[in-house]
Structure 1
């Protein structure tokens, strides 16, 4: 078996990536450009990939390809229909981030809710000395207990975030995706959640139904001026509308770990918000605790070994 890893650099260098327990050749590239993909996968039986795009036009060059082992949960960078048509199995990683992403989500919530970054910057600027007393009150500080946490997305991550919220004394409400109905009494209608939440956190996939599910119109319905937290996918929110919502006071803060283009270009709308005390941008690292990445790497090799043994795990099929 010829195994090719197209973007090893997307896993931390400290991560131990053991070799599969069967006879194979192994070629790991730190990164692969679009122009290099066809040549590098041409003789591969198994391709490991995280973020490199594999459209049908490039997959056509891989005549021996049997498995694409995705080193992530999301598979929107792969043409799943083309893989299915050619008998190529796609497997992904599941359940590895149920602690790290929720913890990062709440790190962002705490930082904004208690104005941690704003007070840090004020102290750095000498404001504490200027205050001439033991403390000062330049920025708002709010407790989480008693507030309403709106969770959009009810998978493992959304459920884990909800459990943390309940442990902190928050009222937790789940909403279906925008436009979805008939989900039962345990769900709050999307528009109603926009009006009732003190904090909105996104934990849903990016697809045609969820793209820009929050934009200018939705910001206008956020009656309680909530925090908006996105550790899911950048395209869920119209990023050009976030700055206007902050300026207009429609939301009290926003924190993103993801952008629609990564890394964001220098003229991305978020780049002009980085000096604001009510905005935080982290570089898609919510998933990246040392423990979580190691669990991902172990599961990745396990998926490959299971496939070769004839018992494939975590198959991903195109939506019909």
Structure 2
């Protein structure tokens, strides 16, 4: 039966090294009588899984030390598989007493695992197990060193850590450091596993099983800093791969750059699942992909928007998200104005006619801008640049912004007023749950039949099917759009199309690389960096094997 209400039932995350050990001891002493029944009720099976995993690496006649043995669930599971030489160690005397009653331990010691050395000889064991106890440790380095002292070269460490502290306290980097100094070799890392499926409060918590082989059982004096693995995902404009050479002493860089149908996000992630950092353009980084990367700690988007990264998952698992802000300079705004000019003066159509020999083009009249009203939806950095450029055209400027914003160039109006009264509507917003399909059938019906829609935002700011229908019916006069996937509009009348080219100038390309590289450099140096707080995740509907966009 579960413990009485006044007995704490679970310590999910506590730094034992900084806490009063007496509190931890009292907690588990009180928990000991009801521990087995409680974890059984919560669906706990980690002890059985740990035993099954160990059996794949260590023969049953070999000696095993069970650190943080608790009431002896792991020891009993090992004994059931035939292991006969098992020692145990735990901080709680009452837990140890319950473990002793199982009759499966040769030796049991009451010991705080942060107090090294433990009372066992060097190379005394073929394996050390530590199942559940590392959740109390934020600095496992001394503990892992002690485990290696106790394990014979060629032996194994089998341990678990909850996924949140695993990421929060940099366990992956610490373990990689041991590997790079040839002290441990990773034999197995599981995907995150729910370990208390029936617990009322912690039923969604996950842990990671790890198996490491001891290469050298002696404590190293060598403290060479570890290198983090950095995966560059890019299926757009190729980036010269020498751009990160000067950071080679700090990171191992892996470039996954393919600009055709050979690009596979699944392949990139599965091949480099041990990466610590991802630098990426517009990719569908949803939870299904991210959970395959248990060591991931940071994502740097080369775009302003981060909507394609599952920020909910990242927040729950301690993965930081950084975006590349304001790299576009005037490039995107200039492209928006170029789209407007191309559409209002029908430049692409006239160009095509001239190349076919039509030197009159009487059927392609343009539209003057002077005296017209332009409405800008989203007066952020890009929208502000658009307003500056438009101010020279003698246009009446108005804008709608989700949050209050002052402008000396344009007046603030409601979205409805902007749609009702604008001759040209500019979309310059990032994609999130508020802006997703902001321009839908209802919004299009409000626009003037003579209005032009100009979009340099992510595609899904519009209901593209509704826009196509409005153009075909003549509900709006035209659309000039920079799109990730323009296929829907290839045969649609009164459109000007570009494919995510708004940002792509020589100056912007160079500037963007320098900015995201600066973010990476600052992150590696441990500097404080503003994280992206875009809490909205809008999955990319296109296949991840197709081209993704920028910005």
Based on CA coordinates, which of the two structures has the bigger radius of gyration? 2
Tell whether the 8 Å contact from 2:233 to 2:278 is kept in structure 1 after alignment. no
Structure-2 separation of matches of 1:189 and 1:55: 34
Q: Which residue of 1 aligns with 2:228?
A: 2
Tell whether the 8 Å contact from 1:81 to 1:318 is kept in structure 2 after alignment. no
TM-superposed CA distance for 1:279, in Å, is 0.6
TM-superposed CA distance for 1:52, in Å, is 2.4
Tell whether the 8 Å contact from 1:69 to 1:300 is kept in structure 2 after alignment. yes
Q: Which residue of 2 aligns with 1:11?
A: 237
Tell whether the 8 Å contact from 1:19 to 1:301 is kept in structure 2 after alignment. no
Structure-1 separation of matches of 2:353 and 2:527: 57
Q: Which residue of 1 aligns with 2:520?
A: 304
TM-superposed CA distance for 1:183, in Å, is 7.6
Q: 1:80 to 1:48 in 2, by over 3 A?
A: same
Q: Which residue of 1 aligns with 2:252?
A: 25
Structure-1 separation of matches of 2:257 and 2:304: 20
Is the counterpart of residue 272 in structure 1 residue 497 in structure 2?
no
Q: Which residue of 1 aligns with 2:382?
A: 157
Tell whether the 8 Å contact from 2:423 to 2:448 is kept in structure 1 after alignment. no
Instruction: Name which of 390, 398, 411 aligns with 1:173.
Output: 398
| Unaligned 5+ runs, structure 2 | 1-226, 537-551
Is the counterpart of residue 286 in structure 1 residue 517 in structure 2?
no
Instruction: Name which of 52, 55, 68 aligns with 2:299.
Output: 68
Q: Which residue of 1 aligns with 2:472?
A: 247
Q: 1:39 to 1:186 in 2, by over 3 A?
A: same
Q: Which residue of 1 aligns with 2:428?
A: 203
Q: Which residue of 2 aligns with 1:57?
A: 288
Q: Which residue of 1 aligns with 2:130?
A: none
Is the counterpart of residue 232 in structure 1 residue 457 in structure 2?
yes
How many residue pairs get aligned? The number is: 302
Q: Which residue of 1 aligns with 2:332?
A: 101
| SS of structure 1 residue aligned to 2:383 | helix
1:74-89, aligned counterparts within 5 Å?
74-89=305-320
| Unaligned 5+ runs, structure 1 | 129-134
Q: 1:136 to 1:257 in 2, by over 3 A?
A: closer
Structure-2 separation of matches of 1:283 and 1:170: 27
Q: Which residue of 1 aligns with 2:120?
A: none
Structure 1 length normalisation: TM-score? Answer: 0.86
1:106-117, aligned counterparts within 5 Å?
106-117=337-348
| SS of structure 1 residue aligned to 2:245 | coil
> Which structure exhibits the higher relative contact order, with contacts defined as CA atoms closer than 8 Å and separated by 6 or more residues?
1
| 149-158 vs 45-54, greater mean Cα deviation | 45-54
| SS of structure 2 residue aligned to 1:316 | coil
TM-superposed CA distance for 1:167, in Å, is 2.0
Structure number having the greater strand percentage: 2
Instruction: Name which of 413, 416, 423 aligns with 1:191.
Output: 416
| 54-63 vs 302-311, greater mean Cα deviation | 54-63
Q: 1:36 to 1:170 in 2, by over 3 A?
A: same
Structure-2 separation of matches of 1:26 and 1:301: 12
CA deviation map 1:255-279 (0-9, x unaligned): 11124xx4x5xxx431322xx3x21
Q: Which residue of 2 aligns with 1:141?
A: 366
TM-superposed CA distance for 1:37, in Å, is 4.1
| SS of structure 2 residue aligned to 1:138 | coil
TM-superposed CA distance for 1:51, in Å, is 2.0
Instruction: Name which of 273, 282, 286 aligns with 1:42.
Output: 273
Q: 1:15 to 1:155 in 2, by over 3 A?
A: farther
TM-superposed CA distance for 1:16, in Å, is 6.9
Structure-2 separation of matches of 1:57 and 1:15: 28
Tell whether the 8 Å contact from 1:15 to 1:290 is kept in structure 2 after alignment. no
TM-superposed CA distance for 1:170, in Å, is 1.4
Structure-2 separation of matches of 1:283 and 1:136: 27
Tell whether the 8 Å contact from 2:481 to 2:496 is kept in structure 1 after alignment. yes
CA deviation map 1:218-271 (0-9, x unaligned): 222212521101111111111112233223332221111124xx4x5xxx4313
Q: Which residue of 2 aligns with 1:131?
A: none
Q: 1:18 to 1:169 in 2, by over 3 A?
A: farther
TM-superposed CA distance for 1:147, in Å, is 1.5
TM-superposed CA distance for 1:145, in Å, is 2.3
Q: CA RMSD in A?
A: 2.4
Q: 1:288 to 1:221 in 2, by over 3 A?
A: same
Structure-2 separation of matches of 1:146 and 1:14: 46
TM-superposed CA distance for 1:192, in Å, is 1.3
Structure-2 separation of matches of 1:14 and 1:140: 44
